[in-house]
Amino acid sequence: MNTPPPLALSAQTPPSNTPATQRHQRLHRLGARILGGFALLHLLNHLAALRGVAAHQQVLEVLRWFYRHPWVEPLLLLCVLAQVASGSRAAWAAWRAPGRLGTVERIQVLSGLVLGSFLSIHASAVLAGRWLQGLDTNFHFAAAGLHIAPFGWFFAPYYFAGVSALGIHLACALWWRLAHRPAAQRRRAAWAVALAGMACAAVLVALLAGWVVPVQVPAAYRASFGV
Ligand code: HEM
């Protein structure tokens, strides 16, 4: 993992960056902090299902009180848009200069692309479920696809890839942030975050699939898959 500082998303700005690129980097980091804070609570909310779907629902209702606030939700959705846009711009810059990318930068760009694709589909699906289908977008909404063949073949890798990409992308950010630390320490910290993300992804998929606690998907959610 010993590579030069990243091209477009580094913690320290490379000297070749234009003011416009630096503005996008700052925007990307600000959005990452807001969205990262939400994602942490959101994933903990899903892990609460380890105590049963009812426990997940209780935590969801408390969190919704905050993130569905009319001042908070538009900001959150704006962050999703800004992250996808500024991340795509950084990926485009990296694509045009692939020879200059080191291993960590490549992993950062790839995981960012997976995360951005996941986020775009995920946020659109949730809003469509709520506003167009009139569904309560709760645990059963997320789990339904894993309980109806053959959709599980899409939804299991989809959730696993989305949450793993988040862990790996954060691990890359941490790698640059710890630039002043000994290489072994940096490597350990980055691997720990990446592996924690992948482990969390595996547990969440198992929970949604009903392998850990019982999950009974109500008819209204099955109907949205035509069953
Ligand atoms: C297994 C993983 C995940 C599952 C099962 C899941 C499921 C859900 C569900 C059910 C909702 C609707 C919540 C509600 O109605 O209050 C939701 C909303 C959302 N999720 Fe996820 N999610 C996952 C991972 C992620 C990740 C990793 C991110 C971000 C990096 C994310 C970002 C969002 C956003 C931005 C919303 C929209 C919030 C709103 O405005 O209502 N999700 N998710």
Read off the pLDDT of residues 160-188 as tens digits, 9 standing for 90 and up. Answer: 999 999 999 999 999 999 999 999 999 99
User: Taken in order 127, 133, 134, 135, is the CA torsion positive or negative?
Assistant: negative
Average pLDDT over residues 94-109: 88
Ligand 1 closest atom vs CA 141: 10
> Where does the pLDDT of residue 19 fall: very low under 50, low under 70, confident under 90, or very high at 90 and above?
confident
Atom 29 of ligand 1: nearest residue by CA position = 39
Q: Residue 112, exposed/middle/buried by CB under 10 A (0-12, 13-18, 19+)? A: buried
Q: Give the atom of ligand 1 at the shortest distance from the alpha carbon of 115.
A: 30
| pTM, full prediction | 0.91
The two structure tokens encoding residue 64: 């919704």
- The alpha carbon of 91 and the centre of ligand 1 are apart by a number of angstroms equal to 24
User: How confident is the prediction for the chain on average, in pLDDT?
Assistant: 91
DSSP class of 30: H
DSSP type of residue 149: T
The whole-number pLDDT of residue 9 equals: 43
* Å from CA of 89 to ligand 1 middle: 24
Nearest-CA residue for ligand 1 atom 17 is 126
Q: State both tokens at 52.
A: 């049963």
Please determine, for residue 2, whether its predicted confidence score (pLDDT) is greater than 80. no
Ligand 1 centre distance from Cα of residue 176 (Å): 27
Class of domain 19-223: mainly alpha
